Amino acid sequence: MSSFALTLASLTRRVGAVDRLWMALAVSLALGLALAPEAARQSLGFIAESLLRVSPFLALAVAVAAGAGATGADNLIAHAFGGGGLKAVVVAALFGALSPFCSCGVVPVIAALLAMGVPLAPVMAFWLASPIMDPEIFFLTAGPLGLPFAVGKALAAIAIGLLGGTATWMLVRAGGISRPLRTDLAGAGNNCGSAGLADPAAVNWRFWRDAGRRRSFWRQTRSTTAFLVKWLTLAFALESLMLRYLPAESVTALLGGGSLLVVPLAALVGMPTYLNSYAAIPLMSGLIDLGMQPGAAMAFMTAGAVSSLPAAIAVFALVRPLVFLWYLGLAALGSVVVGYAYQFAVA
C-alpha cells in the first residue's frame, strides 16, 4: 500500500474524532438562530456560498489525491519533487504564483502533496505563493490599485514562495523538521525528505479494473472530503463573523499612518483580519487614497492572503505545531520584506 493510502487510512480514524466539531457547529447554529436569527441565517448563507466557491478546487484536489493513491502515481509525483532540492523550490514558487487556489482552497492540495511524501521545502514554496496571486485576482487588482501594484503583488508571491521554500530547505537539512503532518495523519514513510518514498514502478493507471484499487479510491475520496469539509466549514463560519463584526473603519484607523512601522503592523493586522482578496482590493484602494503607504498595503494583502484566520485554522488541523508556527513566521517575514521592497520601488 502506498504512503498516501496509509495516510488516508489514518485520516479516516481522525474523521470520527472531529465529529465533535460538527456537534459544536450545530449547537452554535442553534444558539445563533435562537438569539440572533438574522445573523445566523446570513452566516449559513455565507458558509454555503464559500464552500460552493471552493468546491471545484476541493473536488479536483481530492480526486487527484485519491487517484494518485489508488493508481500508485503518488510515488511518481513524490519522486519527481523529492530529488529536486532548490530547483524544486523555484518551480513550486513559480507554479504557486500562477495557480488559482485561495488560502483555504490550497489546503487540500498541500495535504495531498505532503501525504505523497513530497519534501516540505517545495510544498512550503507552493503553499506560500499560491494564495497571494492568481490570474483573476491579477486583473481585479490592476483596476482599482493599478497595474504596477498588480505586477508587484505577483512578484511578491514568487519572492515569498522562494524565501519560504529556501528557508525551509535549510531548516530541514539542519534536522529542524522531520515530519510535517500531525501524528494521526502521517502514514508510514511519509516525511519531509524522499528517503521513505515507495518504488515508483508499482503504478496501475487503470485502477478501476482492480476491485481493491477502486475501493481504495472511494475510501480515500470519502475520508479526505469529510475531513476537509469539516474544517473549512469552521473556517468559513469564523470568516462570516469577522465580516459581520469587524468594521472596515477600524482597520482604516489602525493602518492609515505614514510611519515605517506601518508596514510590519499591516502584515501583523492582515494575518488574522484579512477577509478575502475581493474585499481587500477596495479596502486597500480606499486606504491608499487616504494616505496609506503602498508598501503597507502590499504587506497587508500578502500576509492576509497566506495566513488569514480561516486558512490558519485549516492548516493547524493538518500539520504539526512547529510547522504551523514556521508557516506563520515565514508569511509574516516575507510580507514585511516585500512590503518594504515595494515601498522603496515606488517611492
What's the pLDDT score for residue 21? Answer: 65
pLDDT bin (cut points 50, 70, 90) of residue 17 is very low
Tell me the average pLDDT of the chain: 75
- Per-residue burial over 77-116, b = 16 or more CB atoms within 10 Å of its CB, e = otherwise: bbbebbebeeebbbbbbbebbebebbbbbbbbbbbbbbbb
What is the mean pLDDT of the segment spanning 309-321?
77
**Domain spans, the chain:** 3-246
pLDDT of res. 193: 37
pLDDT at 162: 95
Q: Where are the alpha helices (DSSP H) in 36-72?
A: 37-71
Burial 140-157 (b: 16+ CB within 10 A, else e): bbbebbeeebbebbbbbb
- Residue 304: which of 275, 329, 340, 282 has the closest Cα? 275
Angstrom distance (rounded) from CA 178 to CA 183: 12
Residue 219 confidence (pLDDT): 81
pLDDT at position 285, please? Answer: 74
Q: Report which of residues 162 and 244 the model is more confident about.
A: 162
Do residues 312 and 108 make contact, with C-beta atoms less than 8 angstroms apart? no
d(CA 156, CA 341): 9
Q: What is residue 334's predicted lDDT score, i.e. its pLDDT?
A: 95
The mean-pLDDT minimum among 15-19, 233-237, 283-287 falls in 15-19
Share of the chain above pLDDT 90, in %: 14
The mean pLDDT of 214-221, rounded to a whole number, is 80
Question: What pLDDT score does 326 carry?
Answer: 92
H-run or E-run covering 128: helix 120-129
Phi, psi of 269 (to 5 degrees): -70, -40
Q: Residue 159's closest CA among 116, 194, 128, 137?
A: 128
Residue 192 DSSP class:
S
Give the pLDDT band (50/70/90) at residue 80.
low
Q: Report d(CA 342, CA 299) in Å as an integer.
A: 9
